[in-house]
């Protein structure tokens, strides 16, 4: 993607105002501009936009409304609405918004358009990077976020396991990383859960494996759920539940975005990326309720529900990752409706027993405006996974604590990693917000990248 940043001595200033500062700002305007703003009904409400004319008819400056400091909540990505409002041109911040770095990132993210299947011109606007902002770092993050959005937004007929693997291979090649892929029947012996979930589709399942970095550096392993479409299997979803299941590979998309940031920034880690890429389909050979499979780790798993497939494919991948005893093991997946019931689409829960890691994740999430909320790995609920037939079930009966139960299930497959972080993302913006168009979304990756940058820069 072309950079949103460009230098120019003639950049048009953007002045940020709030309702409480508007009167003071208005007094500094030339009388004609002040009168024009008043006649246009500009009130400095959050998201309010007004272009002010110069005597020659050009745009002299732009006014843009933000929340007052005393507002109950402030959208630090509010400036991300500007690319959709501004006429073509080069702009600069004339004064500081609430957070200049996040405003610049929001501006970049607000330029995103998904244009694979129809013409959707990207806004022809550029921003002079503020003096306090690392433009290269902002571009790195924005480019990776847009990769995640593109992958999630691409429908499943063009983004199956093979296509997802091709994107991962291209990313590995770009940064000189190793790439390997275990496909189809070759999964059955060593990755039986991944094979079971994907075997009903005529698009072969696969386990994508990327390696990058100096082997002497700390091992960081990322695991992303790559269910390229989820019918629910024999426990079939209703049509409304299937409607946006192209996004069920959102964990993989965000892991690839995170890996791109890490490799582009050349963080001092030994990075491994594992993505079980499957399609949960319906056919005569589909895995069934109450089937039992022996996982890679040796744990036998009874299938309580074929629509709880994400945790199954992650389990085998986590077991493989755990064998290397990584310093930090992170998995991301679009896993449970229970997480959305509890916290909604914008606030993914995360799980870890590492108190230092938990505090760092929460702090980085707030710093990056990439919200996450810690939920407990509640030990008394672990017994709910018990099965009368196998070691554990993937979906206990009853609807309580669904996201916690999923996390506890995955925890059974992590034994040797020094620290483990699990994030139950949604990967989708249901209705457009500044810098966040409706559709696929990059969640958790920016916060985790900041954490990794702090630890391994």
Q: Are 4 and 126 within 8 A, CB to CB?
A: yes
Residues 6+ apart with CB under 8 A from 110: 79, 80, 81, 82, 83, 84, 123, 434, 435
Torsion of CA 296, 232, 351, 206, to 10 degrees: 40
Catalytic residue (one of 126, 311, 436, 446): 311
Of 2, 258, 14, the C-alpha closest to 139 is: 2
Angle between helices 310-323 and 402-411 (to 10 degrees): 30
**How many CB atoms are located within 10 Å of the residue 324 CB?**
14
Task: Please tell me what DSSP assigns to residue 19.
Answer: T
Q: Give the tokens for residue 167.
A: 């994107």
In order of 59, 92, 316, the CA distances from 278 in angstroms are 52, 45, 13
Is 237 noted as a catalytic residue in this protein? yes
Q: Which single residue is written with the structure tokens 């983004």?
A: 159
CA-CA-CA-CA torsion sign (388, 394, 398, 404): positive
Of 169, 167, 166, 200, the C-alpha closest to 184 is: 200
Q: Distance (Å, rounded) from C-alpha 237 to C-alpha 243?
A: 10
Q: Distance (Å, rounded) from C-alpha 222 to C-alpha 275?
A: 8
Catalytic residue (one of 34, 45, 237, 433): 237
Which residues share a beta bridge with 210? 179, 273
Q: Give the tokens for residue 81.
A: 């609405």
Q: Distance (Å, rounded) from C-alpha 246 to C-alpha 156?
A: 5
Q: How many CA atoms lie within 13 A of 330 on its CB side?
A: 29
Burial string for 122-131 (b: 16+ CB within 10 Å, else e) reads ebebbbbbbe
Q: Distance (Å, rounded) from C-alpha 98 to C-alpha 79?
A: 10
Q: Is 176 helix (H, G, I), strand (E, B) or coil?
A: coil
Strands 219-224 and 270-280: parallel
Active-site positions?
A: 237, 311
């Amino acid at each position: 993607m072309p950079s949103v940043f460009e230098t120019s001595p003639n950049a048009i200033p953007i002045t940020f105002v709030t309702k409480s500062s508007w009167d003071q700002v208005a007094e500094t305007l030339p009388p004609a501009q002040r009168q024009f703003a008043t006649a246009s009904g500009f009130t400095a409400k959050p998201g309010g936009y007004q272009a002010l004319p110069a005597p020659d008819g050009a745009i002299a400056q732009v006014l843009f409304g933000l929340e007052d400091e005393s507002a109950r909540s402030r959208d630090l990505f509010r400036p991300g609405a500007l690319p959709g409002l501004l006429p073509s041109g080069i702009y600069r911040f004339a004064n500081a918004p609430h957070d200049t770095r996040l405003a610049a990132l929001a501006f970049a993210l607000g330029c995103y358009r998904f244009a694979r299947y129809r013409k959707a011109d990207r806004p022809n606007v550029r921003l002079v990077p503020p003096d306090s902002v690392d433009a290269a770092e902002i571009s790195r993050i924005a480019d990776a976020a847009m990769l995640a959005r593109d992958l999630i937004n691409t429908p499943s007929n063009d983004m199956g396991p093979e296509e997802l693997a091709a994107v991962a291979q291209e990313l590995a090649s770009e940064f000189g990383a190793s790439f390997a892929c275990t496909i189809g029947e070759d999964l059955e012996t060593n990755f039986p859960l991944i094979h079971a979930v994907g075997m009903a589709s005529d698009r072969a399942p696969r386990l994508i494996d990327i390696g990058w970095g100096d082997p002497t550096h700390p091992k960081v392993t990322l695991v992303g759920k790559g269910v390229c479409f989820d019918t629910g299997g024999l426990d079939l979803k209703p049509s409304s539940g299937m409607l946006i299941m192209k996004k069920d590979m959102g964990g993989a998309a965000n892991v690839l975005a995170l890996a791109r940031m890490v490799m582009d920034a050349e963080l001092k880690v030994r990075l491994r990326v594992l993505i079980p890429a499957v399609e949960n389909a319906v056919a005569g050979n589909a895995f069934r309720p109450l089937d039992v499979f022996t996982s890679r780790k040796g744990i036998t798993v009874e299938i309580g529900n074929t629509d709880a497939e994400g945790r199954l494919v992650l389990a085998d991948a986590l077991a493989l990752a755990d064998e290397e005893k990584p310093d930090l093991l992170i998995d991301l997946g679009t896993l449970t409706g229970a997480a959305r019931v509890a916290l909604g689409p914008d606030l993914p829960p995360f799980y870890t027993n590492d108190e230092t890691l938990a505090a760092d994740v929460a702090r980085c999430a707030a710093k990056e405006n990439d919200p996450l909320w810690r939920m407990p790995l509640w030990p008394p609920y672990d017994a709910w996974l018990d099965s009368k037939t196998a070691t554990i079930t993937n979906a206990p009966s009853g609807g309580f604590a669904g996201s916690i139960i999923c996390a506890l299930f995955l925890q059974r497959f992590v034994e040797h990693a020094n620290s483990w972080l699990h994030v139950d993302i949604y990967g989708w913006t249901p209705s457009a917000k500044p810098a966040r168009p409706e559709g696929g979304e990059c969640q958790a990756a920016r916060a985790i990248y900041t954490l990794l940058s702090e630890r391994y820069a």
